[in-house]
Structure 1
Amino acid sequence: MKRLHSLVWMMLLALLALLALTSTAASAARGLKFAEEMRGYAYWDGEYRNASVSLKITINDIDKWSVDPNYPATVTGTLFMDRVPAQPISGTLQILAPAPNDDGRLLTYRFTSATLQFNGIKHVRDSAGAEVFDDMTTLHGMFQPKGQTPPSILDLMYQALWTSELHFEWWDPTTVWNFTMSFQTINTPWYEVLEVEAIFVVTVFGALAHTLFPWLC
């Protein structure tokens, strides 16, 4: 009988702990984090160089982001560039905010290190169709010494003042696999994980989401 009472108490305590965790997750903003790697070239110190970035992106409140595309995600990671020591970077990413005076939406990357800064955009046009993959994976921008006046979004879009180009290599299976497996929800009960992932996919891919990810939409 004592063993039965002990077992009942253990089960009750476990249930209370689970309820406490669920309540805590429900009271906090639901979020999502993922990793992105891009490779290409950068114009730096008077010459073009091979460059790549390894980024960790965090959307701290995915419900707020889904209704306000200007809500920024946070970015941390590492920059690699020929003849420049690898260095940590941090900044923000606005995911699919409306493009000013143009059709489509922008992914706007801004990050800095101890010595340099980067500002760049991916321009996803409304009429892109299947070409949305190229638009969403090609980043045009400018590396500068830290503290210089950065180019405006309009300069990058219309004046082509970008000098560096980085690509998410969607044609490489390993890159796509690493990107897909990097997704993790934040402050999300297990029974809402698919809902949070679906919010991200539908917001990013729009009508294409139902074709590309039918198990989520």
Structure 2
Amino acid sequence: MKKNFQQEFLHSLNDSYDFYLNYKVKREELIANFSRLENSVPFSERLNRWIENWYEQHKDIFVFTDTDDFDSNDIKGTLQRYIEHFKATGKIKIWTGSSENTIFGSERINHFYRAWHDHTHIIFGSGFTLAGETITAEIQCSMLPIEWFFEKRLIMADIVAQNLHYIFHKNYVKDQRKFIVDYLKDPKTIFIKK
């Protein structure tokens, strides 16, 4: 009994230390060094690698396009149209615009991220409302390794915080990198028009 307790305690301590290193330290380093980071530097290289690997396993179903056919005035219809297109063709169209200044530091990886994100929307039928975006973000986070707290926080900030900002201000964030860092510093940044 005593030995089991000691082992559980040591595992718990190790998990706490891992959380400290992989979330708190990464978050603080990003915030402290952001002004010196080139736009091409990803906020998490391992997240970029994971997304690229996911894309490579699913790449045959995606078609990249510079035409944005998302209709913000008909978000239910847009989701239905995307689902029907996927069922009919086996393909998902991914818009490639506005992919600069993202947490990925690469337009290419941002396209792969959108592919993963839109695929999640379509496969799970989660809408483009705040609730649907939050569900999609949670599903995406659940696909990542359990100990990737920092990366999960980045995903939630990228999807949910930016959607909240849009709801409050009716405009999209121009510099997503800066917005995410500001949000990591203080979540109230969603109330400040960017």
Q: Same fold (TM over 0.5)?
A: no
Computing the radius of gyration from Cα coordinates, the structure with the larger value is: 1
Q: Which has the larger strand fraction?
A: 1
Instruction: Give the TM-score of the pair, scaled to structure 2.
Output: 0.33
Q: Which has the larger helix fraction?
A: 2
